[in-house]
Amino acid sequence: MRLLSTTVCLLLMVCALGCRKAAEHTGAAQGQYHAVATVGMVRDLVENIAGEKAFVQSLMGAGVDPHLYKPTRDDVARLIRAKIVFYNGLYLEGKMIDVLEKIGAKKPVHAVAANLQEQYLLYPDGMSAHPDPHVWMDVSAWIKAAREVEQALIAFDPTNAQLYRTNAAAYIGQLEQLDSYGKRVMATIPEESRILISSHDAFNYFGRAYNIEVMGVQGLSTESEAGLRRINELVRMIVERKVKAVFVESSVPRKSIEALIAGVRARGGELEIGGELFTDAMGEEGTYEGTYIGMMDHNLTTVARALGGEAPVRGMQGRLGHERE
């Protein structure tokens, strides 16, 4: 981190001296400003609300774990070139905090989840100092993050305030439909099957929003290792409660889930993978699952169907598994 801080300071000095050409290519079209987001879920908010006014890049793509991600020199350069920066906050991007704080001394940098009211935040056991950062797993809470982006863009570019208000209203309308769909399909899961077990504790907000018990093999951060004691506890619970399915995550190695399955089968039980869920990263860019709505549609539909509920195979919009139009 000391070396990274030195690199950031040097790059900021170079930028301040004007040695970087203003016309350096960013991909922005004429009349657009350059915005950078850390993770795809935040980028999706900015893209939908800024619309044609911004060229938006994200530093982390599909399958990338933000808990472990360390910014590269190219990332720092993108942050310096950007006119405005957005990140989730709540220590999701824990290894980037130093960089983001230094960049924030020179330009607008916004943590979209950091200013949410306490009623929207969860503090799991043992984490009283910092809230769970996985706020986007509750669509109703992510709507509040969308409002944060709307206000940040209005403050940054007041000339286009009405456009940002219009775009935000339209996008929030879509999120409200998604939230209603989630409540409807998750309610069809039989009471005795309402338990979601995944690789790490990314589903606390999901569980609260859609009334399902959630458990992770690892803690909130994927830096924590799943201990043998934790795995044995879950194996006993799975056998006792006759849990039939567990879930892997797209951005987390599946070894802990495979250990659960092996442990249950060693006790004569049956356990299968109910599907792969998107947690700390969305799907591949250019696909429906590569959008926030598509990501959550996939998660809600997959969980409901795997646990005995009723949901359409292709999800809310009939687009799961299809490329984005």
> Residues 297-319: pLDDT tens digits?
999 999 999 999 999 999 999 99
In this predicted structure, the answer to whether residue 184 has a pLDDT above a threshold of 70 is yes
Residues spanned by CATH 3.40.50.1980 within the chain?
Answer: 2-182, 187-306
150-164: burial string, b at 16+ Cβ within 10 Å, e else = bbbbbebbeebeebb
The distance between the two most distant Cα atoms of the chain, rounded to a whole number of Å, is 68
C-beta of residue 151 within 8 angstroms of C-beta of residue 45 = no
Cα-flanking dihedrals φ and ψ of residue 287, to 5°?
-110, 165
Beta bridge partners, 52, equal none
Given a contact cutoff of 8 angstroms between Cβ atoms, the answer to whether 39 and 92 are in contact is yes
Calculate the alpha carbon distances from 321 to 134, 202, 246 in Å.
Answer: 24, 23, 21
279 pLDDT above the threshold of 70? yes
CA 166 to chain centre: 24
SS3 103: helix
First-last CA distance in the chain: 41
User: For the chain, how many residues are written?
Assistant: 325
Q: Which fold has domain 187-306?
A: Rossmann fold (3.40.50)
* Separation CA 306–CA 196 (nearest Å): 10
Cβ partners under 8 Å of residue 186, min gap 6: 210, 211, 212, 300, 303, 304, 309
6 has a pLDDT exceeding 60:
no
CA distances from 199 to 217, 319, 320 (A): 5, 26, 23
Average pLDDT over residues 203-213: 96
User: Is the model's pLDDT at 37 over the cut of 80?
Assistant: yes
What architecture does CATH give domain 2-182? 3-Layer(aba) Sandwich (3.40)
pLDDT per residue as tens digits for the range 104-138? 999 999 999 998 998 889 987 755 678 999 999 99
| pLDDT confidence tier of residue 225, bands split at 50, 70 and 90 | low
The first and second tokens of residue 317, run together, are 């919009």
In terms of DSSP bridges, do strands 54-58 and 33-37 run parallel, antiparallel, or are they unpaired? parallel
Average confidence score pLDDT of the chain:
88
Q: HEC profile for 26-58? A: CCCCCCCEEEEECCHHHHHHHHHHHHHHEEEEE
Q: Report the alpha-carbon distance of residue 189 to residue 173 in Å, rounded.
A: 26
- Closest to 171 in 3D by CA, of 31, 325, 50: 50
CA angle 312–314–319, rounded 5-degree value: 140
